[in-house]
Chain A
Amino acid sequence: MKIAYYPGCSLHSTGVEYDISTRKVCDAMGIELAEVKDWICCGSTPAHRCDDLMSLALPAKNLALAVQTDNLKEVCAPCASCYSRLKFTQERMTNENLKRNVEQIIGSEYPEDVKVLHMLDVIVEKIGTDAVKEKVVKSLNGIKVACYYGCLMTRPPKVTGRQRFENPTDMESVMEALGAEAIDWNMKTFCCGASFALTQTDVVLELTRKILADADSAGAQVISVGCPLCHANLDDRQKQINENFNTNFKIPIFYFTELMGLALGIEAKDLGIFRHLTEVKDFLKERALA
């Protein structure tokens, strides 16, 4: 199976371990990822906050580039923000006027029949959790995982097409297949503050504290995420939160692809896990996962 792969800017910098683990896991599951040639930034949140037309033209350009990559009709975007922007563009391009303008800007035809998938969709829809279960060589042994989706993986349903947008369960089914225990908690789709990390850090710290506190009180040992921005806020800023609010959170934050990789028998260092800022080495050693 071959899918066009749109990593996005975060996966080449702050979320580099998501890129590494995604490639490893896809390799192990027999999916060939063809990186979109010369992809550009999707514009993310700042684009739709200041320039409506460009916020649609940038993802449209990437969709056109994706189709040019080996003529593939499916694009996988692991970053929730990229995924959301690509999906939003597809929804808005049903407006013929807008589409004409966007085609003028990107200088080529807008490709209609492309399917945009989040990495989690690739695992759940394309491979299936049963196939994942068969490949598990090192069960996660009942680690208690809080699956955190954040905003844009599921919302808004008119764009993502998801049935369960307030209480999604796809990541839970993957975690159960890996032998982990997915716990029930409240903040699955609560916002982490995402793009405010640089401008209004206080907001991010407050929102992220709430998420960590809820996961902690629900008994989570780790949090599993599918978005580089969620990861940056929960992992990189965890120490800052502890200092600011006098808390003592020590919750390792994993990309769900990293947990998959571990269960599939890939070494932790090959998945890029030791790039996390929150301590993970001891946690994995205790459980014989590293």
Chain B
Amino acid sequence: MRIVGPKNIKPDSAFVEEIARRSGENVFLCYQCRKCASGCPSRMFMDSTPTELMRYVQLGMADEAMKGNTVWFCLSCQTCSVRCPQDIDIAHVVDTIRIIVQEKKIKADTKNERLFNWLWMRMLKYMGRMYEVGLTGMLNLFTGRPFKDLPLGIKMIKKGKLRLLPSIRRPFATMKMFSRANRLKK
């Protein structure tokens, strides 16, 4: 745990209000019991634990909450939300932070997750269904490791577990849905 002195805290009450409003969760109920951190399967990879993240949110410490890798290591496994004695849906709070980071294009340690999400949503928009070979290929290409998982991929293709060609369904329907959603958000 990092000890933060009063000089280092630049509280931003707009940040905590935005999180609370958009997630619909009462983040102020957290009393730091650490059940979320104890159960989190991904905590050993994170800069700060989910418990610390909740404190950063409460204190309005936007930079600490948004720029670290903590939210990007969240697997959305829901363990924290289920075990919280104050019934805060912590995974939803994490999702909300992630979405804000992506919307505001904040520079953060996103572990390629932002790219992955972006590629996924693009494929979905134009094809209607997921195209794993294309997704993996593009992700590996953009992250500069084009041959990652190639032997595994070849094995899976041989076993008939990967489709080489995309199955495109109702692309105009999904494109229309995305553009309607964009209009609603404005």
- Residues of A at under 8 Å CB distance from B? 9-10, 12-17, 38-41, 43-54, 57-58, 61, 101, 104-107, 151-152, 155-157, 165-166, 190-191, 193-196, 198-201, 203, 207, 236-237, 240, 274-277
Report the interface size for chain B: residues with CB under 8 A from the other chain. 57
Specify which chain B residues have a CB less than 8 angstroms from the CB of A201 in the assembled complex: 148-149
Question: Which A residues are CB-close (under 8 A) to B148?
Answer: 201
Residue from the list B128, B159, B177 in contact with A57, Cβ < 8 A? B177
Whether B76 lies near A40 (C-beta < 8 A) is: no
Q: Is the CB of A105 within 8 A of B181?
A: yes
| Residues in chain A near residue B176, CB distance under 8 A | 107
Contact indicator B184/A53 (Cβ below 8 Å): yes
Q: List 26 A-B contacts (CB under 8 A).
A: A13-B162, A14-B161, A15-B161, A16-B160, A38-B169, A45-B76, A50-B102, A51-B121, A52-B22, A52-B95, A52-B99, A54-B178, A101-B184, A107-B177, A151-B75, A155-B77, A156-B89, A191-B79, A194-B77, A195-B76, A198-B136, A198-B139, A236-B155, A236-B156, A276-B159, A277-B155
In the complex, what distance in Å separates the CA atom of A39 from the CA atom of B82? 30
Residue on B nearest A51 in the bound complex, by CB? B121
Given known A9-B129, A39-B169, contact A199–B181 (CB-CB < 8 A): no
CB–CB B82/A104 < 8 A: no
What's the Cα separation between A9 and B152 when bound, in Å? Answer: 19
Judging by beta carbons under 8 Å apart, are A194 and B75 in contact?
Answer: yes
| Cβ proximity bits B147-175 to A, threshold 8 Å, 1 near / 0 not | 01100100110011111000101100110
Check if B75 sits within 8 Å of A193, measured CB to CB.
yes
Chain B: CB-nearest residue to A43: B124
Q: Return the CB mask of B80-100 against A: 1 if under 8 Å, else 0.
A: 011000000100000110110
CB distance B184 to A104 under 8 Å? Answer: yes
**A to B contact number (C-beta, < 8 Å):** 162
Say whether B112 contacts A152, CB under 8 Å. no
A53 and B103 alpha carbons, distance in the complex (Å): 13
Q: Which residues of A contact B41 (CB under 8 A)?
A: 190-191, 207
Beta-carbon contact of A49 and B95 below 8 Å? yes
Report yes or no: B121 in contact with A50, Cβ–Cβ below 8 A. yes
Residues from chain B with a CB closer than 8 A to the CB of A240 are 152
Asked whether A49 lies within 8 Å of B135 as measured between CB atoms, the reply is: no
A107 touching B180, Cβ below 8 Å: yes
Given the complex of chains A and B, what is the CA–CA distance between A196 and B26 in angstroms?
Answer: 29
Find out whether the CB atom of B149 lies under 8 angstroms from the CB atom of A198.
yes
